[in-house]
Amino acid sequence: MIEGARWRKWVFFYVPMALFLLFLLFPFYWMVITSVRPDGELYRPWNSSNYNPFWTWKPTWDHVRYLFEETLFASWLWNTTFIALASTAISLVCGVFAGYALSRLNFPFAGSLGTGIFITYLVPQTLLFIPLAEIIRNYRLGDTPWSLILTYPTFLTPFCTWLMMGYFKAVPKELEECARIDGASRWQAMLYIVIPVAIPGILSAGIFAFTLSWNEFIYALVFLSSPEQKTVPVGVTSELIRGDVFYWGPLMAGALLGSIPVAIAYSFFVEHYVAGLTGSVKG
């Protein structure tokens, strides 16, 4: 904390903190306020009485209702959840095992393999979607959730592997050695000792992977075409922007509802998440 006079605390702590919070939270506020604003205020503010750009006196649920009744938003939500959970699960399983192997088993080329995995993470998606589209077409996976469930791990697995590698390295080797002397096989030692100790790391990798796949845009845009298959980010932008007409109310309502699950996921596990990223193992 900052020591000294009260004004110092205000100048160096509270005021910057407030500005920072304002900067971060304003988009959310704008989404909320836009999604409950009546169309009259959105499109012809000069005609509406009592108009205030930062507030509304006539909140309405019309946009949310429109979202659920006139669009396929409910199925987009379901699609996104299913795809995000499935690809996160696949990536986590791969990441945990690969991370364990790369950090604990001394096999030849473990180091270069680790670097290799990291390099695949660096290949930009905007480049990768072209060959992937070919693969998706060959396996006839286009326009199904599987096209995304199987392609998201291409960038999620390297990330999970690296995060878990770092985390496993921070778990003292003696814990596992002790378990193996105690009568556990390598497999059991991993299952009963190393993985439970690494839960914070696994959680943070999981949350991160979930968020990435929840928000993913370009693969979803390319691989999915029919409206009922789309995910929230693609569905909202493709179905609620028609030509040059922006349906601002439903658009913002969709964005807001789409970001809530991620926010909930973060707030539940925030402590584990921080512990996972800073790699703390309490003895």
Q: Which is nearer to another protein, 242 or 282 (CB)?
A: 282
Provide the mask over 242-281, with x wherever binding to another protein is found by CB under 8 A and - wherever it is not.
Answer: ---------------------------------------x
Binding of another protein by 94 (CB under 8 A): no
* Cβ at position 168, least distance to another protein in Å: 15
Q: Please tell me whether residue 204 adopts helix, strand or coil conformation.
A: helix
Q: Rounded distance, CA 195 to CA 189, Å?
A: 9
Among 125, 128, 90, 98, which residue's Cα sits nearest to residue 114?
98
Q: Rounded distance, CA 83 to CA 86, Å?
A: 5
* Cβ at position 177, least distance to another protein in Å: 5
Q: Which is nearer to another protein, 194 or 207 (CB)?
A: 194
Phi, psi of 241 (to 5 degrees): -115, 105
Among 44, 172, 263, 278, binds another protein (CB under 8 A): 172
Binding of another protein by 282 (CB under 8 A): yes
Binding of another protein by 181 (CB under 8 A): yes
The answer to whether residues 96 and 191 touch, using CB atoms and an 8 Å cutoff, is: no
Q: Rounded distance, CA 201 to CA 279, Å?
A: 7
Q: Which is nearer to another protein, 84 or 197 (CB)?
A: 197
Q: Rounded distance, CA 128 to CA 138, Å?
A: 16
Among 175, 212, 221, 262, binds another protein (CB under 8 A): 175
Selected range binding another protein among 39-47, 124-132, 195-203, 209-217, rule: CB under 8 A: 195-203
Among 43, 55, 192, 268, binds another protein (CB under 8 A): 192
Angle value at C-alpha 76, between 245 and 95, nearest 5 degrees: 125
Q: Rounded distance, CA 19 to CA 168, Å?
A: 38
* Cβ at position 202, least distance to another protein in Å: 13
Among 92, 149, 164, 179, binds another protein (CB under 8 A): 179
Binding of another protein by 6 (CB under 8 A): no
Q: Rounded distance, CA 88 to CA 156, Å?
A: 7
Contacts of 194 (CB under 8 A, 6+ apart): 100, 104, 168, 171, 175, 176
Provide the mask over 131-160, with x wherever binding to another protein is found by CB under 8 A and - wherever it is not.
Answer: ------------------------------
Binding of another protein by 111 (CB under 8 A): no
Q: Rounded distance, CA 21 to CA 256, Å?
A: 18
Q: Rounded distance, CA 168 to CA 176, Å?
A: 11
Q: Which is nearer to another protein, 90 or 197 (CB)?
A: 197
The answer to whether residues 114 and 164 touch, using CB atoms and an 8 Å cutoff, is: no
Binding of another protein by 185 (CB under 8 A): yes
Binding of another protein by 110 (CB under 8 A): no
Residues in touch with another protein (CB under 8 A):
172, 174-175, 177-185, 188, 192-193, 196-197, 199, 281-283
